[in-house]
């Protein structure tokens, strides 16, 4: 008797050994979602029939010797802002409540081409605008470590699904920390690739110059595995980098402290609101690297204090343009009471969008308006350049940067009501999106309340190999081990959920 494997590579090994089948894996995931998700509420939709059909087809391919690869038959969940042909793509918004995708996003097609079984579409802050997954129009996702707490956002559903053992891995999107921050809150690994490393074709855009798709997994190796699967040039995405893909999983074997320089940005430890236990946890991570033989280097990112302001000008400006397409005319919700074209626009958007999305559209429209474009948007873009230059300078003296992923652990639902205070939760993650760099959050400690704390490792653009190796090195040598059975949700169902697979 065993439970659903926690990792992609364990599931793949079991399939290769013939000790399980894709049908058993996927049925295990479906059963676990049925048992756990009524409390966690990570999944917005699950096509059980389609999942089991795909699993049966995978088993048939494997039996015929024509498997599509190592991971043919392994279940993975998707954030509900990525197009999957024939499945809902709601972005957790009423305006897309009944929308069904007519095509596959590139990342989705690449998973399918490798035989992964797409198992569930996960909850998010509406249109990926939020840091707690409280802004979903349909349900509030809970943190598996404490159901009263948020899982982070906007990829909170993906992080919670992985942390709760519903699936071994999921895809999320990261515009200002929306993979790394929920990974930190839920005690999983979250990787934000460099801008252009992974195709955005089929990702419903929030801020096009900032968005990036990446994995949420239970360990660094699985993050590398999924990046190998979804990364690479895509002619359908004009911002996709036309560069050869490295094999990131294989580079983990080269993880070594020899010559590794870990930068410690002074400004990241001067942030107002940084909790003492988070600071101590990150200092202990630095101690671990030093004990292994790596060098820690003090660095400076002097424009860090301007990152939040610059981000929320640029992101909202792009959001106001991207969300103009949801007008009640072409697709999505249309208010039937409207009698004129203007009323159709006004009433459909007013009824279809939630409060936070409306707030950001209004902010973005304002900063792009006549008389304010130069004062706000253009100046924010100049600050963005300065932030990128700060990183370029820092990486001249180090290979990766170490920081918290969030200034505090998961907070209780409803605890933060001030939008500005919520925006400040992303202080450590936003600047990497502005610069186009890569970053990863790995679990490193528990707070006094028993909630996970994540350490963030940042690398330069296209520095995924260095970031993954450093994260893997820490993961293999840290005295921290996230015991996922300790979560209250898992403890409540574990006895009756030992699937024979």
Residue 314 lies in a domain: no
pLDDT of residue 488: 54
pLDDT of residue 135: 96
Residue 338 lies in a domain: no
Side-chain-facing half-sphere of 231: CA atoms under 13 Å: 27
Contact 301, 391 (CB under 8 A): yes
Contact 184, 204 (CB under 8 A): no
CATH number, residue 164: 3.90.1300.10
Residue 262 has pLDDT above 70, yes or no: yes
pLDDT of residue 331: 85
Percent of the chain with pLDDT over 90: 91
Question: What tens digit of pLDDT does each residue of 428-440 get?
Answer: 999 999 999 999 9
Distance, CA of 350 to CA of 355 (rounded, Å): 9
Contact 169, 161 (CB under 8 A): no
Question: What tens digit of pLDDT does each residue of 115-170 get?
Answer: 999 999 999 999 999 999 999 999 999 999 999 999 999 999 999 999 999 999 99
Question: Which residues are within 8 A (CB) of 262 and not within 5 positions of it... i.e. 6 or more apart?
Answer: 286, 289, 294, 295, 296, 297, 398, 399, 400, 401, 402, 470
pLDDT of residue 482: 54
Number of domains in the chain: 1
Distance, CA of 22 to CA of 51 (rounded, Å): 10
Residue 153 lies in a domain: yes
Residue 349 lies in a domain: no
Contact 475, 219 (CB under 8 A): yes
Range of the domain at 287: 8-304+384-496
pLDDT of residue 18: 96
Longest dimension (CA), the chain: 71
CA 79 to chain centre: 8
Question: What tens digit of pLDDT does each residue of 374-396 get?
Answer: 899 999 999 999 999 999 999 99
Residue 329 lies in a domain: no
Contact 142, 49 (CB under 8 A): no
Nearest in space to 338 (alpha carbons), one of 351, 357, 353, 326: 351
pTM for the whole structure: 0.95
Residue 369 has pLDDT above 60, yes or no: yes
pLDDT of residue 424: 86
Contact 441, 456 (CB under 8 A): yes
Residue 365 has pLDDT above 80, yes or no: yes
Across all residues in the chain, what is the average pLDDT?
Answer: 94
Residue 87 lies in a domain: yes
- Tokens of residue 162, six digits: 């992985």
Question: Worst-scoring range by mean pLDDT, 255-259, 299-303, 327-331?
Answer: 327-331
pLDDT band at 371 (very low <50, low <70, confident <90, very high): confident
pLDDT band at 248 (very low <50, low <70, confident <90, very high): very high
The three-state secondary structure class of 286 is helix
Q: Assign 3-class secondary structure to 83-122.
A: CCCCCECCCCCHHHCCCECCCCCHHHHHHHHCCCEEEEEE
Question: What tens digit of pLDDT does each residue of 46-98 get?
Answer: 999 999 999 999 999 999 999 999 999 999 999 999 999 999 999 999 999 99
The three-state secondary structure class of 296 is strand
Positions marked catalytic = 79, 154, 178
Residue 391 lies in a domain: yes
User: What are the φ/ψ torsions at residue 401 (nearest 5 degrees)?
Assistant: -110, 145
pLDDT of residue 494: 52
Residue 500 has pLDDT above 50, yes or no: no
Residue 146 lies in a domain: yes
E strands, 332-417, in order: 400-404
Residue 415 has pLDDT above 70, yes or no: yes
pLDDT of residue 370: 85
């Amino acid at each position: 008797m065993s439970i659903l494997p926690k990792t992609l590579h364990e599931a793949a090994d079991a399939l290769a050994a013939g000790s399980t089948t894709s049908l058993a894996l996927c049925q295990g995931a479906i059963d676990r979602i049925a048992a756990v998700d009524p409390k966690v509420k990570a999944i917005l939709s699950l096509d059980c029939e389609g999942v089991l059909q795909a699993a049966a087809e995978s088993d048939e391919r494997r039996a015929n010797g024509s498997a599509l690869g190592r991971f043919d038959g392994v279940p993975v969940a998707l954030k509900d802002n990525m197009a999957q042909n024939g499945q809902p793509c709601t972005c957790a918004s009423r305006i897309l409540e009944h929308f069904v995708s007519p095509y596959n996003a590139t990342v989705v097609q690449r998973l399918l081409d490798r035989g992964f079984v797409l198992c569930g579409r996960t909850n998010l802050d509406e249109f990926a605008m939020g840091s707690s997954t409280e802004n979903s129009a349909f349900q509030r996702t809970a943190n598996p470590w404490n159901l009263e707490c948020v899982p982070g956002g906007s990829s909170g559903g993906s992080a919670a699904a992985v942390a709760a053992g519903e699936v071994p891995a999921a895809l999320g999107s990261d515009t200002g920390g929306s993979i790394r921050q929920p990974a930190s809150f839920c005690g999983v690994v979250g990787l934000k690739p460099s801008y252009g490393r992974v195709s955005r074709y089929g990702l419903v855009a929030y801020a096009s110059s900032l968005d990036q798709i990446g994995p949420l997994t239970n360990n660094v190796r699985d993050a590398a595995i999924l990046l190998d699967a979804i990364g690479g040039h895509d002619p359908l995405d004009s911002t996709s980098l036309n560069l050869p893909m490295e094999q990131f999983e294989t580079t983990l074997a080269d993880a070594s402290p020899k010559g590794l320089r870990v930068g410690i940005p002074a400004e990241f430890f001067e942030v107002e609101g940084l909790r003492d236990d988070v600071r101590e946890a990150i200092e202990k991570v630095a101690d671990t690297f030093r004990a292994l033989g790596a060098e820690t280097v003090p660095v400076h990112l002097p424009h860090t204090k301007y990152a939040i302001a610059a981000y929320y000008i640029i992101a909202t400006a792009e959001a106001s343009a991207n969300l103009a397409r949801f007008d009640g005319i072409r697709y999505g919700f249309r208010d039937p009471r409207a009698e004129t074209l203007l009323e159709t626009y006004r009433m459909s958007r007013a009824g279809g969008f939630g409060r936070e999305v409306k707030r950001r559209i209004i902010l973005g429209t304002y900063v792009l308006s006549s008389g304010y474009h130069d004062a706000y948007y253009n100046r924010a873009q100049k600050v963005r350049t300065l932030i990128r230059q700060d990183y370029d300078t820092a990486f001249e003296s180090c290979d990766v940067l170490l920081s918290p992923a969030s200034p505090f652990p998961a907070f209780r639902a409803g605890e933060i009501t001030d939008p500005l205070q919520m925006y400040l939760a992303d202080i450590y993650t936003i600047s990497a999106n502005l610069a186009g760099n890569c970053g990863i959050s790995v679990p490193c400690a528990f707070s006094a309340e028993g909630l996970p704390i994540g350490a963030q490792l940042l690398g330069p653009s296209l520095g995924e190999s260095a970031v993954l190796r450093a994260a893997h090195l820490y993961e293999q040598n840290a005295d921290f081990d996230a015991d996922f059975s300790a979560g209250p949700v898992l403890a409540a169902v574990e006895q009756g959920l030992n699937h024979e697979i």
